[in-house]
Structure 1
Amino acid sequence: MRSDSQRLTRVTELLSSLVSLDSINPMGRPYSRSQPVERESIEFIEKLFAPYRNKVSLQRQTCSAFHENLIICFGDTQGCPVGLFESHIDTVPADDWRDRALVPVVEDGCLIGRGACDDKGSLAAMILALLEILEAGAEPPIPIVLLCAGDEENAQTGIRHFVENSHPDLAYAIFGEPTRLSPVVQHKGTIRWDIVVHGTSAHTCRPELGTNAILGMTEVVSALQTYQNRLQATYRSRYMTGPTITVTMIEGGRTRNATADECKAAIDFRILPNMDPAREFETLVEYLETLEWQISHSPLQLMTPALSTDPKLPFCQDLLEICHENVSSRVALRGEPYGTDAAWVSNLCPAVVLGPGDISFAHAIDERVALSEVAQAVEVYKQIMLHSFKSGFEESQVVIPNNLSDSVSDTMNSANL
């Protein structure tokens, strides 16, 4: 049994090593490295488990041209439901602080560096929880699968490839993300694509001879705001804010002295658990067709379902009790507006997002996580792995529409963002 100080030292060393390894996701930009984004981290993690190869199996899994997973299995997973623990390896870029982003620094009890909070704090805690169990010679009541996932930040190809190709029989799933160790049972789904308004070019001395696509886009943006307000009046959740439609980028025009013949906007559409992503996308497209502009839509870049796990399930109540005992009696089941890999298994088993760190530090300059919280997460994950949950893992209440994976698979693969 390791002391608290020993665990904290181990957490600091492991998380520092993980942060120092470059696993920055290109996020659709050109990628010139000769190996997958996650390879260095995967090789490092494999060495940690090398002394236990008689107890665990390790498998690399290619999930796209630039990304791969590492699957670590403890116990016989054949014909037996397993407990899935997943944290992603990849991080967002660090363009604004690249000179120090991969140089971990400990300051005021926090480790600072790209990925410290999102998601290497969770990854380190899950790794150490499993290592502590192996070192103690303990046996979890059901097999444990630790998925060190690739490409969560961009297209979620890692978790999708795992689900589609590994055919897991899941009893439950824990997804590490910064939640301050409060279990998240619901979060929003995401739809991303580009809207293009088409016009005709004309010299700016006679703009009336053309059709300015930028003016058309202003009407589209206004219409999207009206549509969002309508959705928010219709769909509500006790756990999070309503649906949102956000324009994140706009580009248009070719020269300074001609009306724009094209204007493109990037759209981020967040939906609640009781909204079908494919249907919501189709309905919004139909709504925009009522505008008096020529509008086209790019292939979908991302379409993920929302997460909705019934908080009344015995699994959720047991999990909450573990958090009360090891974190705080004030911890409660809750929802979040962001999306995670958890949505892709929410039709297979009870899935919960749970990890150290505060989402406000994720993707930010000087990203950080409290080391004491990562150490707490080690104990929480360890207790979950060793816990005999009540029998009967009921299915979650939301089922991914049958056509969802098919409808977005080709477009996401072609974009391969």
Structure 2
Amino acid sequence: MPNYTFLEAYKKIISFPTISAMDEPLDLSNKALIDWLGNVFSSMGFRISIQKVPHARNKYNMLAQIGSGQGGLLLAGHSDTVPFDEGRWNFDPFKAQVKDNLLYGLGSCDMKGFFAFILESLKDIPLDKINKPLYILATADEETSMAGARFFAEQQLIKPDMAIIGEPTELKPIGKHKGHMAQSLQITGQAGHSSDPDRGVNAIEIMVQAIEKLLTLRDSLARNYRDDSFSVPQATMNLGHIHGGDGENRICGHCKLNFDVRCVPGLTDDEVITQIDQALAPLKLSYPDRIDMQLMYPTAPAFACKNEHQIIELAEKLTGFKVENANYATEAPFINQLGCDTLVLGPGSIKQAHQPDEFISLDYVDPTVSLLRNMIKHVCYSK
């Protein structure tokens, strides 16, 4: 293995620009980082598989495996970051720096720096003695489409007993989280001069009726789909962006509304889409061919840990924290499709994610390395 110190590995990982963005000019390949990780884990005796991710722009997943047999442990994370706000950073986003025990850099907290913690935890572990496989997964495009995790779940290459996704949770295990979907509702009217409204079809007026239907559905979802273990217990709908028309003296010919829904476990994406279609069906009959709704990007379903192998009890014992839930979405539902107990659990705070001057406290190093080593020993060295 290359003799990287923890900070050297961290700085190397941060130095690779791996931005994911829907806007193509901002979107960057993660191949250089994936190749570097593959080489480092290969030098430690891991078998490496690097695969190009379909429906993505030159993005790759990496799976490293050591040991053989059934079950085992998967340590997973995404290799990409969000874009950064130029002019708002006081540090170079791609040159990790330490100041006052805080390590700054794009992805230092969310979350490709997690791979440096994994590498540090593997030092002085006799990997040739494990009797259940240990897997390391680096995925692509978590920050946009989650294409890497979706592709990995579809392949069903491995069947670990347990999986840890190292998103920043302050080392508190997350056993459930909400899903996320985003819809774009488009109303096509007929533009015309405002002096004669009957000669046109006002898209804003149709949108007002559509919003009334959606708000009624929002309230129904909140009443009927709840999980009181969440800080926001109900399924939510947010009307986030609306635009229509181009002048006060013109009948609006087009209006668009973007909105999102966050499902609790037990409410599937398909069920929500069906209920939205049913809510808007009367309007579609009244205004044929004028109402169209499309997913803005693939949905991320809600997640709940299976806990068939008591990963929750193990994580609570090793961290000292009780399992919690989160209102945001991660790759966990896709990793869960491998059939394993899955938790979201990693160093750093979600409050630092997607922020200028993103950082992680180095106080997380020792407890995170200890946690990962104990997880590996418990799962991969068990009889």
- Shorter-chain TM-score tier: 0.7 to 0.9
Answer yes or no: is 1:379 the counterpart of 2:370. yes
Q: Matched residues in 2 for 1:83 and 1:368: separation?
A: 28
Going from structure 1 to structure 2, the CA distance change for 1:323 and 1:289 (only over 3 Å counts) comes to same
Following superposition, the deviation at residue 219 of structure 1 comes to 4.0
Note the 1:267-416 alignment, pairs <5 A. Answer: 267-291=259-283, 294-299=290-295, 301-310=297-306, 314-324=310-320, 331-347=321-337, 348-388=339-379
Kept in 1, the 8 Å contact 2:243–2:255? The answer is: yes
| Aligned twin of 1:23 | 18
Answer yes or no: is 1:72 the counterpart of 2:64. yes
Kept in 1, the 8 Å contact 2:176–2:304? The answer is: yes
Report the RMSD for the aligned CA atoms in angstroms. 2.8
Q: Matched residues in 1 for 2:223 and 2:49: separation?
A: 47
Output the amino acid matched with 1:271. Answer: C
Following superposition, the deviation at residue 161 of structure 1 comes to 1.2
Following superposition, the deviation at residue 281 of structure 1 comes to 1.1
Going from structure 1 to structure 2, the CA distance change for 1:350 and 1:365 (only over 3 Å counts) comes to same
Q: Matched residues in 2 for 1:319 and 1:125: separation?
A: 17
Identify unmatched segments of 5+ residues in structure 1: 1-8, 325-330, 393-417
Note the 1:154-165 alignment, pairs <5 A. Answer: 154-165=144-155
Answer yes or no: is 1:110 the counterpart of 2:102. yes
Going from structure 1 to structure 2, the CA distance change for 1:121 and 1:376 (only over 3 Å counts) comes to farther
Q: Matched residues in 2 for 1:222 and 1:131: separation?
A: 59
Q: Matched residues in 1 for 2:43 and 2:220: separation?
A: 57
Going from structure 1 to structure 2, the CA distance change for 1:16 and 1:220 (only over 3 Å counts) comes to farther
Kept in 2, the 8 Å contact 1:121–1:369? The answer is: no
Kept in 2, the 8 Å contact 1:49–1:131? The answer is: no
Pick one of 23, 32, 36 that aligns with 1:44.
36
Sequence identity percentage: 26
Note the 1:146-161 alignment, pairs <5 A. Answer: 146-161=136-151
Following superposition, the deviation at residue 198 of structure 1 comes to 2.0
Kept in 1, the 8 Å contact 2:179–2:262? The answer is: yes
Following superposition, the deviation at residue 23 of structure 1 comes to 0.3
Answer yes or no: is 1:243 the counterpart of 2:238. no
Count of residue pairs the alignment pairs up: 370
Going from structure 1 to structure 2, the CA distance change for 1:305 and 1:299 (only over 3 Å counts) comes to closer
Pick one of 264, 283, 298 that aligns with 2:256.
264
| Aligned twin of 2:193 | 203
Following superposition, the deviation at residue 156 of structure 1 comes to 1.1
Following superposition, the deviation at residue 11 of structure 1 comes to 3.2
Question: Structure 2 length normalisation: TM-score?
Answer: 0.87
Following superposition, the deviation at residue 302 of structure 1 comes to 1.6
Residues 194-229 of structure 1: CA distance to partner in whole angstroms, max 9, x if unpaired? 111221111244445323323433443444333222
Residues 138-179 of structure 1: CA distance to partner in whole angstroms, max 9, x if unpaired? 633410110011111111111121122243212111111111
Q: Matched residues in 1 for 2:171 and 2:100: separation?
A: 20
Write 1 or 2 for the structure with the bigger share of helix. Answer: 1
Q: Matched residues in 2 for 1:298 and 1:374: separation?
A: 44
Q: Secondary structure at the match of 2:192?
A: coil
Residues 106-147 of structure 1: CA distance to partner in whole angstroms, max 9, x if unpaired? 2332222221111123232223323553xx556334101100
Q: Matched residues in 2 for 1:288 and 1:391: separation?
A: 55
Q: Matched residues in 2 for 1:277 and 1:159: separation?
A: 17
Going from structure 1 to structure 2, the CA distance change for 1:51 and 1:389 (only over 3 Å counts) comes to closer
Q: Matched residues in 1 for 2:359 and 2:205: separation?
A: 42
Q: Matched residues in 2 for 1:389 and 1:321: separation?
A: 17
Answer yes or no: is 1:57 the counterpart of 2:51. no
